[in-house]
Amino acid sequence: MKLGNFAGGWAAAYSEGEADKRAWMQERVAANRKYLLDTGLPKFQEIKDAKDASKANIATAVKMGFTQQAAQALEFQGSLDMQLAKLKRIGESQGGVVNREALKNVSELIWDSIPDDEGREKILNYFTDNGVPDNVDDLQDQFIKAIINAKRNDADFVVARGILSDARTKARPDVTVNVPTTQNYQALNLDSDTKVKRFINSSLTGLEGVTFSNTSSDPNSLPGLTGSNAQEANKTIANLVRGHNESYNRNENSMEWLMNQIDILKNVLTDTTIRTPNKWKYYNDMGAS
């Protein structure tokens, strides 16, 4: 074979090989571009949707009665959706009224549960931009331009991948947020007071100088109190109802509080060592002292 023919054949083969390589690279660039666009643009939309949903949740919680800080802490912890669902069910129930006093107290409990000022500051800083960059729209534009400008190889897409990574939700700081186990979100009403009084009366029937009598034909009416100690007994029951409601509004287990107080009262009323004609007054004075 002549040297010229060999060189020409080699050059043609080399040229063909380079053309195949360029075509392969073009196909790879096109595939990379399509993949990043197909996965990256929906990711940007997810980020923006999550940011909008988070802001809306917090705004709704504040409107219902949570403090801004407590709403952010619950959203950060991941349970705000569940708390809002509870409030929504109360609002949609017949005669349902949200207990704004309880929400105020719960808010204080939640915010105070965060161990230190540093943790609170981390949550507030996290929500200055709802956990994502404020310029997420600008980053999306930069992402698209970086993909369009990628011409040659995989390295050209590093910039685009970096922009997408920057736009993802920020890593949450390591902060513990505790949600109170008792959540008294429904406001007490007159019917609730009646039920509490009925429970108290049923627990105290036959004790120390009072008689519970029901002269009404309505089976749901409250028994009246008669007897030498009726005035102080009525005062005791009113104080127990008020104490129950205040405990409820503090987001405590108010029935547990009430039963504990009734047990204390029973001990006083049945204590034979207490020498007084009116043990109800003795109990009331104990509470006032």
pLDDT-derived band at 289, boundaries 50, 70, 90 = very low
CA distances from 61 to 49, 79, 83, 198 (A): 18, 12, 9, 34
Q: What is the domain count for the chain?
A: 2
46 lies in the same domain as 100: yes
Same domain for 37 and 150? yes
Taking the C-alpha atoms of residue 17 and residue 259, their distance in angstroms, rounded to an integer, is 90
Same domain (yes/no): 118, 218 = no
Mean pLDDT of 229-237: 87
Whether 238 is covered by a domain: the verdict is yes
Q: Please name the helix (run of DSSP H) or strand (run of DSSP E) that holds residue 120, with its range, or none.
A: helix 117-126
Report the chain's C-alpha Rg in angstroms. Answer: 36
pLDDT tens per residue, range 155-174:
667 888 888 877 765 667 78
Q: Which of 135, 167, 199 is the last residue in one of the domains?
A: 167
pLDDT tens figures, 128-149: 765 555 567 788 888 888 888 8
Q: Report residue 73's pLDDT band, with 50, 70 and 90 as the boundaries.
A: very high
Inside any domain, residue 88: yes
Between vectors from CA 181 to CA 177 and to CA 186, what angle results, nearest 5°? 115
8-30 mean pLDDT: 65
Report the Cα 146 to chain-centroid distance in Å. 39
Q: What is the DSSP string of 216-263?
A: -S-TTSPPEEESTTHHHHHHHHHHHHHHHHHHHHTTS-HHHHHHHHHH
User: Are 35 and 126 in the same domain?
Assistant: yes
Tell me what pLDDT residue 202 has: 81
189 pLDDT higher than 50:
yes
Q: Quick check: is 183 in a domain? A: no
pLDDT surpasses 50 at 224 = yes
pLDDT of residue 153: 62
Residue 182 domain-assigned (yes or no): no
Provide the pLDDT for residue 154.
62
DSSP sequence for 49-108: HHHHHHHHHHHHHHHHT--HHHHHHHHHHT-HHHHHHHHHHHHHSTT--B-HHHHHHHHH
State mean pLDDT over 270-283. Answer: 89
Residues 3-12 have a mean pLDDT of 52
Domain assignment present for 173: no
Residues 159, 23 share a domain: yes
With respect to residue 172, please indicate whether it lies within any of the assigned structural domains: no
Q: What is the pLDDT of residue 141?
A: 86
pLDDT class of 219 with cuts at 50, 70, 90: low
Tokens of 202: 């049923």
Give the range of the structural domain holding residue 230, as residue numbers without chain letter: 190-288
Whether residue 90 is found in the same domain as residue 161: yes
Q: What is the DSSP string of 136-172?
A: HHHHHHHHHHHHHH--SSGGGGHHHHHHHHHHSPPPP
Give the type of residue at 185.
Y
User: Does some domain include residue 176?
Assistant: no
Determine the pLDDT at residue 62.
95
Residue 67 CA to residue 108 CA, distance in Å, equals: 8
pLDDT value at position 203? 84
- Does 143 lie in the same domain as 107? yes
Clarify whether residues 11 and 146 are in a common domain.
yes
